[in-house]
Amino acid sequence: MFTYLDPTVRKRLEEHGKLFQIDREGVQVPADHVPASGTGISVLGPIPLPLKLCDTQIAVDWYACVRRTELGKIEEIADELRAQHGQASFATLASSMAVNSVLLLGDPACWKNPLVRVHSSCMTGDVFGSQRCECGPQLHMALERIQEDEQGGMVIYMSGHEGRGIGLWAKAATYLLQDAGENTYEANRSLGLPDDSRDFSDAGSLLKFFLKDSPFRLLTNNPKKVNDLEHMGLQGITRVKHVTGVGDNNRRYLAAKQDWGHELTPEDIGTD
């Protein structure tokens, strides 16, 4: 349903290998194979995307990726939603509807240990340039680091991850709560929402597909992200520290992340 394309166009893209689907384990499956509810991912690409970030030009191959959710499966998703509660329902729905992106730099056939960033969408930071968080600079620096890297690598942009999974509307409310004195996690809890409800399972499948069994270096300060990916069966992950965009507007936010488990030093956030 969410992956609907005109059938003639769909067939042509499939014949040209520009539309394909993978299963949960990252294995490409035949076009006519309909996987169990919401388990397959449809992928469109590669689509050449010339990026210009400030003065840096970066040519990436873009893949648009969305869960293949057939019309007949919507009922199953509805049942699943009814069996869950508030936030879990939201996370399920967000994951089913999100079109995630893979931005690929270099040739995966040559990858021995590429550089990878799994980036959670942040409208305010990534698009508007908000300094309440460091998402925008982190995304830009990830692309630059991957471009400069010998092997290259990929960014997986998770579009349903706004506000660590609570959505943009609730995130807006947490900003107001934060301005009244709560930290980023306390504000989520005040709204009755989890600290972090991001679902990384699609990222796991996409990493398996693009990396095959190659080990990789993951740009993150969040050890939980490494654990989540390891639980999906991904191996050989080396965490690479990724600190940038720190300033007066987000020092308190970063200190809360540090308390919560992010591997940041006082020097990193300038609080020493």
**Interacting residues with Zn ion (CB under 5 A):** 122, 125, 133, 135
Shortest gap between Cβ of 256 and Zn ion (angstroms)?
13
Q: Which of 117, 198, 217, 228 is catalytic?
A: 198
Shortest gap between Cβ of 121 and Zn ion (angstroms)?
9
CA separation for the pair 34, 153 (Å, rounded)? 30
If the CB atoms of residues 113 and 130 are measured against Zn ion, the closer one turns out to be 130
Shortest gap between Cβ of 166 and Zn ion (angstroms)?
12
If the CB atoms of residues 57 and 249 are measured against Zn ion, the closer one turns out to be 249
Active site includes 196?
yes
Active site includes 117?
no
Secondary structure of residue 19 in the 3-state scheme: strand
Q: Which of 68, 117, 126, 196 is catalytic?
A: 196
Which residue reads 């689509």 in tokens? 47
Shortest gap between Cβ of 107 and Zn ion (angstroms)?
31
If the CB atoms of residues 133 and 234 are measured against Zn ion, the closer one turns out to be 133
CA separation for the pair 183, 175 (Å, rounded)? 9
Residues 6+ apart with CB under 8 A from 192: 86, 87
If the CB atoms of residues 98 and 135 are measured against Zn ion, the closer one turns out to be 135
Residues 6+ apart with CB under 8 A from 193: 86, 87, 166, 170
Q: What share of the chain is helix, strand, coil (3-state, %, to 5)?
A: 40, 20, 35
* Phi, psi for residue 190 in degrees, rounded to 5: -60, -30
**Residues 83, 99 contacting (CB under 8 angstroms):** no
So which residues are the catalytic ones?
A: 196, 198
